[in-house]
Amino acid sequence: MEIQIGNVSHIIQLSVAPVFLLTGVGTNLTVLTNRLARIIDRSRVLDDRIGLADSGADPEMLAERDTLHQRAHLINRAITLSTSCALLICLVIAALFVGDALGLGLAAPIALMFVLAMLCLIGSFVFFLREIFVATRSMSVGISRPPQRH
């Protein structure tokens, strides 16, 4: 079985759109991991300030730590779904090549994987949006407090 150059160029043309999508998902993952890193850094600072005993800790610091844990959980879900999306897109690209090169009828599995990838991406964006809402809500709560005098 011999694969012709024309067939390979056709396969590459078919895989260009998923490759661009994969680039966008990679950028999304960069944003999500950067946000997670900032959340983790802030959590470590708070944990150092709070210390090991939560009983004497400032209630505002404890509330902020809880908010950061909630945000981290949402970002972790978004990262998981974005990574799943990227893996499914890679499978779509591989299936395009294998299916076309070997003459296999993989249209239905390719379509299913693509739809699953889009559902994962949608879910990732939903969790990302929820995390932004939590971050914005906690920020606006902090702004509405009157300044404390020392």
Q: What's the predicted TM-score (pTM) here?
A: 0.82
Q: How confident is the model at residue 62 (pLDDT cuts 50, 70, 90)?
A: confident
Closest CA to 87 of 116, 58, 59: 116
Count how many domains the chain has: 1
pLDDT at 52: 59
- Confidence at residue 14, expressed as pLDDT on a 0 to 100 scale: 74
Instruction: Please give the pLDDT value at position 13.
Output: 75
Q: Is residue 71 part of a domain?
A: yes
Domain that holds residue 136: 5-142
* Residue count of the chain: 150
22 burial class (0-12, 13-18, 19+ CB within 10 angstroms)? buried
Nearest one of 3, 6, 19 to 89, comparing CA atoms: 19
For residue 148, being part of any structural domain is answered with: no
- Tell me: the pLDDT tens digits for 106-126? 999 999 999 999 999 999 999
Tell whether the model's pLDDT for residue 87 goes beyond 90.
yes
Is position 133 within any domain? yes
Instruction: Indicate whether 147 belongs to any domain.
Output: no
Q: Do 27 and 86 contact (CB within 8 A), yes or no?
A: no
Q: State the average pLDDT over residues 4-29.
A: 82
pLDDT of res. 142: 57
